């Protein structure tokens, strides 16, 4: 009995592998990963006024390529690679149009602990300004590693860079981000004395 099973499975022609997704799965991919892609685009410096357009562009590419997705990489990794390229196009378009800064969000009216929420909003604005001040390579490395919590090998697969280059960019990005935060931060009351 075991020999029959072994012979059948060992010598049977390989089953044709079907891709993990079909075009019919587009809705499921969109629902499962919409927020992730939105955060990625925003973190990669796509301005708020064109964020919806960039998001649509990402999912248009996904729709075209979903049936060819082979499952070699994680879906989120694949989506991030697409979002990265779309974000680069949008940032290049902004640079070409000579618009140099990311629009600030208007925060919703605070509820609850007003002082805490105002401070959190100010810290978020500071982080966004510091992130916007980084060059593209550092911003991409920072967002992938620190915001999206991807490992350096995952980042290397997405970007096509050597692993040591990725580690170097992450380190440089963290240092540059910290320097920008320090530069953009208002002086503390202790430092004035």
Return the CATH architecture of domain 18-101: Orthogonal Bundle (1.10)
Is pLDDT at 100 greater than 90 in this prediction? no
pLDDT of residue 86: 92
Domain boundaries, the chain: 18-101, 114-193
Q: Which residue has the higher pLDDT, 27 or 96?
A: 27
Q: Report d(CA 132, CA 46) in Å as an integer.
A: 10
pLDDT in tens, 37-50: 999 898 888 888 88
15: confidence class by pLDDT, cuts 50, 70, 90 = very low
Q: Which CATH number fits domain 114-193: 1.10.10.10, 3.30.930.10, 2.40.100.10, 3.30.160.110?
A: 1.10.10.10
What percent of the chain has a predicted confidence (pLDDT) above 90?
19
Question: pTM of this prediction?
Answer: 0.54
Please provide the average confidence, as pLDDT, over all residues in the chain. Answer: 76
């Amino acid at each position: 009995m075991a020999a029959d099973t072994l012979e059948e499975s060992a010598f049977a022609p390989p089953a044709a592998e079907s891709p993990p997704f079909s075009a019919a799965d587009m809705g499921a991919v969109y629902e499962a990963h919409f927020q992730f892609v939105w955060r990625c685009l925003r973190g990669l410096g796509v301005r708020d006024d064109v964020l919806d357009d960039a998001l649509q562009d990402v999912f248009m590419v996904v729709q075209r390529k979903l049936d060819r997705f082979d499952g070699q990489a994680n879906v989120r990794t694949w989506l991030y690679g697409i979002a990265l390229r779309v974000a680069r196009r949008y940032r290049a378009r902004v640079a070409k149009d000579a618009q140099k800064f990311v629009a600030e969000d208007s925060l919703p009216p605070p509820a609850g602990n007003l002082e805490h929420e105002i401070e959190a909003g100010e810290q978020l604005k500071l982080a966004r300004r510091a992130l916007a001040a980084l060059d593209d390579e550092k911003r991409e490395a920072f967002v992938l590693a620190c915001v999206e919590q991807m490992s350096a090998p995952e980042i290397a697969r997405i970007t096509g860079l050597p692993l040591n280059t990725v580690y170097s960019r992450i380190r440089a990005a963290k240092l540059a981000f910290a320097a920008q935060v320090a530069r953009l931060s208002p002086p503390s009351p202790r430092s004035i004395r």
